[in-house]
Structure 1
Amino acid sequence: MLRESLNDLTAFVAVARAGSFTKAAAELGVSQPALSQTVRALEARLGVRLLARTTRSVSPTEAGERLLNVVGPGFEEVEAGLAGLAELRGKPAGTVRITADEHAARTVLWPALRRVLPDHPGIKVEVSVDYGLVDIVAERFDAGVRLGGMVAKDMVAVRIAPDMRMAAVASPAYLAARRQPKRPEDLTGHACINLRLPTQGGLYAWEFEKAGREVRVRVEGQLVFNTVPMILDAALAGFGIAHLPQDQVQAHLDRGELVRLLADWCPPFPGYHLYYPSRRRQPAAFEVLVEALRYRD
């Protein structure tokens, strides 16, 4: 009876966390109909509906949320304990899930992973690229990457990159028949290439600062993208001014393919930090990655 209850609870927790029977079934290695039947049997035995099902999503009911809050942390402790057993072999092992935006994933995470993973074949890493402000606890990520000023105070933050600067840039072809902006406010008279943020669905307001004065400008233009590489491609093609991390455009500036604008309005700011919930003890695999990512001047 206990074994059946644990199996049923495992099935319920997997579906509740994934928000999908299909995804949970793939995670557990069972068929979707079998998983659905298991959860229905648990609901029948408890006499309450645990999951609200629609054609598009699955989410816990009030009773399901209460059960998840009770058994979820216990399962997490078991998972962490099993991962910790690898330490007895002297070989860190386990899966680490990290969420980051595309720029951080390519310029910070991937170089570190290339260095460390060949020496630790037991460590698996899942990197989820997302421009939104993901709740790493709710989405069951082990850690996330954000700029230093955006990390919540209740999280542990580890600096993993140097200070950054943004750069407003445009191609020589775009600027040939236009006057270069001297102040951020002048951007309203230019074609600018926008970035749409997924968190609130709005467009990113370009931020500038000089001599303690902060300015946020809502720009306009023909093009809006939700990925930075496309914005860079459009700027190189002469479709307008882009506002991008300096390291992503420096090579194009050096080759004269782009021209930097408003440089005195783009001071350095705190770079990327890895952040994660405060715990008394982290799995060895996670600690290996933290040390590999830690920024050293």
Structure 2
Amino acid sequence: MDLALLRTFLAVHRAGSFTRAAALLGLSQPAVTGQIRSLERQLGRPLFLRQARGVTPTTVGEELAHKVAPHLDALLEITESGLDEDSAKRTLHLTGPPEFTSLRALPALAPLVEHGLTLRIAFGPAEESLDGLAAGHHDIAISTHRPRGELLTATPLCDEEHVLVAAPRWAARLGGPAVVRAKGARSLERVPVISVHESMPLLTRYWSTVFDTPPTASGAVIAPDLRAVLQCVTAGAGMAVLPRYLCTDALDAGEVVALHDPPVPPLRTYFLSVRVGTLAHPHIARAHEWLLRAAGDW
């Protein structure tokens, strides 16, 4: 099978469009279309579903991309580097929230560093990260916002479960989750609130979703990092809504306890966002794929 056809196929798969793939490859759109049709004839199966705005891969296309991408990327790196080991290195500029990026994304990408990838990390809120991505300051943005417009494209990464936690003494004083379940938000009115921002985003969303009412208290402690919030909760300063991944160890150790166990806990979705067409770059595509693969265990 002609490797050029596979290279074109992979470019279309990553760009999501014949037009964008053609621009990345320096080919005309009819040439790209012709190569994809030739590959589909050889395989006897359709690889893409044509839509009004671009294309989406079929299940066969997804399987083929998963199989050929690592090998084509490796060949491309060899040819681009001219067998010069130093020039084969690539720098990935990643941005995202400090806690999730530090505890989830960076450990997942660590094995790629051993194979020559260099990382530059920037922390920031969702809007700032996406603006920086659009401006070309970053290669991949992790955020809880799905970007709008046609310049950026996003892939769901994982869902984050939120838990209402406090130190054991607060749980004992309240009477435990059964009392909170019976009395609702009223049972929590005297517990100090700890949050990352004055707007108390996680707690406000939890109250609206679980108790169907906005919170009445203001923050007793505001610390702009969820890890600091957890430390304050552990020390007994009050209650907070935290991602389960962040407080699982503290819950298992009995340092904090869940004050409530709603039937359907609030969730927040993280997205991987890139500029359209940049997944044609092997180092970005590899990091993107590596994060998606790791998220299956999160």
Q: Note the alpha carbon deviations across 1:267-287, whole angstroms, 9 max, x for none.
A: 253532210121276322111
Q: CA–CA distance in 2 between the matches of 1:192 and 1:212?
A: 17
Q: Which runs of 5+ in 1 are unaligned?
A: 1-83
Pick the aligned partner of 2:80 from 84, 88, 97.
88
Is the CA contact (8 Å cut-off) linking 1:190 and 1:240 kept in structure 2?
yes
Task: Map 1:142-221 onto structure 2 (within 5 A).
Answer: 142-147=139-144, 150-154=145-149, 155-161=152-158, 163-179=159-175, 181-182=180-181, 183-184=184-185, 186-196=187-197, 202-204=199-201, 206=203, 207-208=205-206, 214-217=212-215, 219-221=217-219
Aligned to 1:278: 276
Task: Map 1:208-287 onto structure 2 (within 5 A).
Answer: 208=206, 214-217=212-215, 219-264=217-262, 267=265, 269-279=267-277, 282-287=280-285
Structure holding more helix per residue: 2
Is the CA contact (8 Å cut-off) linking 1:144 and 1:276 kept in structure 2?
yes
Please tell me whether residue 117 in structure 1 is matched to residue 118 in structure 2. no
Aligned to 1:56: none
Please tell me whether residue 294 in structure 1 is matched to residue 292 in structure 2. yes
Q: CA–CA distance in 2 between the matches of 1:276 and 1:253?
A: 35
Q: Note the alpha carbon deviations across 1:183-219, whole angstroms, 9 max, x for none.
A: 24543332111211xxxx7443521279897544353
Q: CA deviation at 1:170?
A: 0.6
Aligned residues: 205
Please tell me whether residue 138 in structure 1 is matched to residue 132 in structure 2. no
Q: CA deviation at 1:241?
A: 0.4
TM-score normalized by structure 2?
Answer: 0.59
Q: CA deviation at 1:86?
A: 7.0
Is the CA contact (8 Å cut-off) linking 2:194 and 2:240 kept in structure 1?
yes
Q: Note the alpha carbon deviations across 1:42-82, whole angstroms, 9 max, x for none.
A: xxxxxxxxxxxxxxxxxxxxxxxxxxxxxxxxxxxxxxxxx
Aligned to 2:65: none
Is the CA contact (8 Å cut-off) linking 2:279 and 2:285 kept in structure 1?
no
Q: Which runs of 5+ in 2 are unaligned?
A: 1-75
Q: CA–CA distance in 2 between the matches of 1:140 and 1:165?
A: 30
Pick the aligned partner of 1:97 from 76, 93, 98.
93
Q: CA deviation at 1:132?
A: 4.9
Q: CA–CA distance in 1 between the matches of 2:200 and 2:138?
A: 26
Q: CA–CA distance in 1 between the matches of 2:201 and 2:90?
A: 37
Cα 1:86/1:130, change in 2 over 3 Å: farther
Q: Which moved more, 1:208-217 or 1:252-261?
A: 208-217
Cα 1:165/1:280, change in 2 over 3 Å: closer
Q: CA deviation at 1:99?
A: 1.1
Cα 1:104/1:221, change in 2 over 3 Å: closer
Is the CA contact (8 Å cut-off) linking 1:157 and 1:276 kept in structure 2?
yes
Q: CA–CA distance in 2 between the matches of 1:258 and 1:212?
A: 20
Q: Secondary structure at the match of 1:286?
A: helix
TM-score normalized by structure 1?
Answer: 0.59
Q: CA deviation at 1:176?
A: 3.5
Q: CA–CA distance in 1 between the matches of 2:143 and 2:192?
A: 29
Is the CA contact (8 Å cut-off) linking 1:195 and 1:228 kept in structure 2?
yes
RMSD: 3.0
Q: Secondary structure at the match of 1:217?
A: coil
